[in-house]
A = this chain, B = another copy of it.
């Protein structure tokens, strides 16, 4: 299989490149270094040093004997993306090339406009390139569970049959997201659904919860292959941030009441989910949606787990509830269906104490690189 990975330098992108490459697939990675450069500009760089993508692919080739081809450039430039499609004619394209941070999207008009433009034009360009060059190519788009928000009804897997005044129809499950970033993911889905119906494209939308974890089997082979790991307020996800705060003896920053509940998964399970979707693709004319999570936790539950394990390991972990900078319900109903990926064969890595301990151990090695100023940047939704 020929797989094109867009956003190949990111937290998910680089491990995904190695995962496919390790399994014998021809792997092509593309990135414009947006996240890498932004992290420098905003002073919130990765916990581990991360060689650039050219260097990473060389190290990977030394370690594994497998080649990953890369192109550095911006896929909002259609000419650039089209040339890649024409050169490689991929069987599957994995679309990670969106601006992925909610706080970033709420910082200013300019960052909001960048997020809208980047996330929608990258998606539009992919749809057009597939239609123009290789209409059989399967698009795997990373969505987010945040698109659903926190409705007062059960969250189904992408679709909902609605009965109204004794008539029925099936719709995309209603979405109302809590940040501009999350809203752009609703918007790209609106657009994808249009072209699936109009052009008969095949698409899988992975509605992913926040990912945690620092390593995969591939990255374990050489520390220079580790993913870019963010623990800051802008690009970090909550559990990753808590672990690093615990190691740094910084109070865990719980926003508001902390009863916000979300679905989470291990980085290793993201790899599995993307791979399972790629090897068992959607049909032509199908927008297939999976809710990509393995467990749900409230923020308070995660903080308690980190404290419990951290204290046992000798860290003195404290928890600090701070005023919520976001506009969100802090106490809400949350019941999500997520059986589709299990049916495809997902074998979850649940959040055991052992796994938490391994995160502490890795983080501790990079303790001297922790930037305490990155934990709270003062970004608010208002």
By a beta-carbon cutoff of 8 Å, the part of chain A in contact with chain B is: 78, 109-110, 112-113, 116-117, 120-121, 124-125, 128, 132, 151-154, 156, 160, 162-165, 167-169, 171-172, 174-180, 183, 186-187, 190-191, 193-194, 197-199, 327, 333, 381-382
Given A113-B78, A187-B190, residue A174 in contact with residue B162 (CB < 8 A):
yes
Pick the residue among B124, B168, B180, B333 that contacts A116 (CB under 8 A).
B124
- Chain B nearest CB from A222 CB (Å) reads 40
Q: How far is the CA of A168 from the CA of B151 in the complex (A)?
A: 9
Chain B contacts for A194, CB-based, 8 A? 176-180, 183
| Given A78-B113, A109-B124, A109-B125, CB of A168 within 8 Å of CB of B153 | yes
Closest to A165 in B: B154
**A124-B116, A190-B183 known; A109+B168 contact, CB < 8 A:** no
Q: How many copies does the complex hold?
A: 2
Give the residues in chain B near A199, CB-CB below 8 Å: 382
- Distance between Cα atoms of A197 and B191 in the complex (Å): 23
Chosen A-B contacts, 13 in total, with CB atoms closer than 8 Å, are A78-B109, A78-B110, A109-B128, A117-B117, A153-B168, A162-B162, A162-B174, A171-B174, A171-B176, A174-B174, A186-B187, A198-B381, A199-B382
The answer to whether A152 and B169 touch across the interface, beta carbons within 8 angstroms, is yes
CB neighbours (8 Å) of A191 from chain B are: 116, 180, 183, 187
Q: CB distance A167 to B154 under 8 Å?
A: yes
Whether B167 contacts A153 by the Cβ 8 Å rule is: yes
Give A84 Cβ to nearest chain B Cβ, in Å: 15
15 additional A-B residue pairs with CB within 8 Å, beyond A120-B187, A154-B164: A113-B124, A116-B191, A117-B117, A117-B120, A120-B120, A153-B164, A160-B164, A162-B174, A167-B333, A172-B174, A176-B190, A178-B194, A187-B187, A187-B190, A197-B327
Cα A176 to Cα B287 in complex, Å, equals 13
Q: Which residue of B lies closest to A177 (CB)?
A: B194
A382 and B153 in contact (CB under 8 A), knowing A78-B109, A162-B162?
no
Which B residues are in CB contact (< 8 Å) with A110?
78
Minimum distance in angstroms from A32 CB to a CB of chain B: 17
Contact across chains for A151 and B171 when beta carbons are under 8 A apart: yes
